């Protein structure tokens, strides 16, 4: 089991959803947190709750879509001499549009936010990560395991996550990775999802509205990290699609074509 007490976790997308819930889990285990995201007021509310749990918490506004914003975060980490022990890559955005009705700019944006931002941060802090053996947890999705209707760009970005973090764990034994694979979790991810023109849909899809509790998700995820699990599927009944895809692919395709995709 990993030791969490008196360690420091850097969390992207730490103000809402799974990132927020995970921040509290780290804090309850005695881990200081560096919370990043685009809205400082949201981050500060989470930081306040974390400090009430007895740890230190810092907030930094970061837009993972912009390399220069990540550069500013990296410079701050180094200037403040923060030593990172855990990295949680949670910042992300989803999509709700048919593949051929999605403008290429949307595909590119999802790759920048969901994939390139995270790997740019990892590479920018590579010396610290190699020296300290940082444990990287990255939030993927069941959509990173298989394709799914109206989520082509989202699926592609999550598939890329699996390829990168599985490889880095093989190349650098001192760097541990946990790929968190949630099913439908009750967060605002679908409301913030982009349509084919790049605008937020503002709609909570039924599956998300009835999704798995985000705090339960975070508890399962922190246990998986503590045990050094390489991958962890988390969620309710919908996650049965993962073994279906692997072992009964014809049944997966039948269900995926007929399930409510939005």
**pLDDT tier at 245 (50, 70, 90 boundaries)?**
very high
Q: What is the 3-state secondary structure (H, E, C) of 132-169?
A: HCCEEEEECCHHHCCCCCCCHHHHHHHHHHHHHHHHHH
- The DSSP bridge pattern shows strands 176-182 and 231-234 to be parallel
In a domain, 60, yes or no: yes
Q: Kindly state the average pLDDT of the residues 39-47.
A: 98
> What pLDDT is attached to residue 28?
98
> What pLDDT is attached to residue 248?
96
pTM value? 0.95
In a domain, 248, yes or no: yes
For the stretch 88-119, pLDDT in tens is 999 999 999 999 999 999 999 999 999 999 99
**pLDDT tier at 258 (50, 70, 90 boundaries)?**
confident
Separation CA 66–CA 175 (nearest Å): 25
In a domain, 129, yes or no: yes
**pLDDT tier at 171 (50, 70, 90 boundaries)?**
very high
Place of tokens 């920048």: 112
In a domain, 1, yes or no: no
Is 154 assigned a catalytic role?
Answer: yes
In a domain, 99, yes or no: yes
Least confident of 51-55, 179-183, 236-240: 236-240
Task: Tell me the average pLDDT of the chain.
Answer: 96
> What pLDDT is attached to residue 221?
98
Is residue 99 within 8 Å of residue 49, measured between CB atoms? no
> What pLDDT is attached to residue 260?
58
In a domain, 210, yes or no: yes
> What pLDDT is attached to residue 207?
81
- pLDDT surpassing 60 at residue 262: no
Total number of domains in the chain:
1
In a domain, 2, yes or no: no
From the candidates 24, 26, 115, 154, which is the catalytic residue?
Answer: 154
Separation CA 62–CA 73 (nearest Å): 7
Q: What percent of the chain has a predicted confidence (pLDDT) above 90?
A: 92
Residue spans of alpha helices (H) in 53-147: 67-79, 104-111, 117-124, 126-132
Q: Kindly state the average pLDDT of the residues 113-139.
A: 98
**Which domain CATH number covers 112?**
3.40.50.720
Cα→Cα distances 63→13, 22, 28, 38, 184, Å: 9, 19, 27, 6, 25
Which is more confidently placed, 183 or 208?
A: 183
- Residue range of the domain that includes 96: 8-258
Is residue 211 within 8 Å of residue 236, measured between CB atoms? yes
In a domain, 70, yes or no: yes
């Amino acid at each position: 089991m990993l030791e969490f007490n008196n360690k420091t976790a850097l969390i992207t997308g730490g103000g809402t959803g799974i990132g927020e819930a995970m921040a509290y889990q780290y804090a309850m285990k005695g881990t200081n947190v560096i919370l990043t995201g685009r809205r400082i007021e949201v981050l500060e509310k989470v930081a306040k709750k974390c400090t009430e749990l007895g740890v230190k918490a810092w907030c930094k506004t970061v837009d993972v879509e912009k390399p220069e914003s990540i550069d500013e975060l990296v410079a701050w980490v180094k200037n403040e001499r923060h030593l990172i022990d855990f990295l949680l890559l949670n910042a992300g955005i989803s999509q709700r549009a048919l593949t051929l009705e999605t403008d290429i700019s949307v595909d590119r944006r999802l790759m920048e936010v969901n994939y390139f931002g995270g790997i740019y941060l990892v590479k920018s802090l590579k010396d610290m990560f190699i020296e300290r053996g940082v444990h990287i947890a990255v939030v993927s999705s069941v959509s990173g395991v298989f394709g799914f209707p109206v989520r082509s760009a989202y699926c592609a970005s999550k598939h890329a996550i699996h390829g990168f973090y599985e490889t880095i764990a093989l190349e650098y034994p001192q760097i541990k990775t946990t790929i968190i694979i949630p099913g439908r979790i009750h967060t605002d991810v679908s409301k913030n999802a982009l349509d084919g023109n790049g605008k937020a849909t503002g709609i909570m899809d039924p599956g998300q509205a009835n999704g798995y509790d985000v705090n339960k998700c975070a508890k399962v995820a922190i246990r998986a990290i503590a045990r050094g699990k390489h991958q962890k599927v988390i969620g309710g009944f919908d996650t049965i699609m993962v073994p279906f895809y692997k072992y009964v692919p014809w049944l997966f395709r039948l269900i995926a074509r007929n399930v409510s995709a939005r």
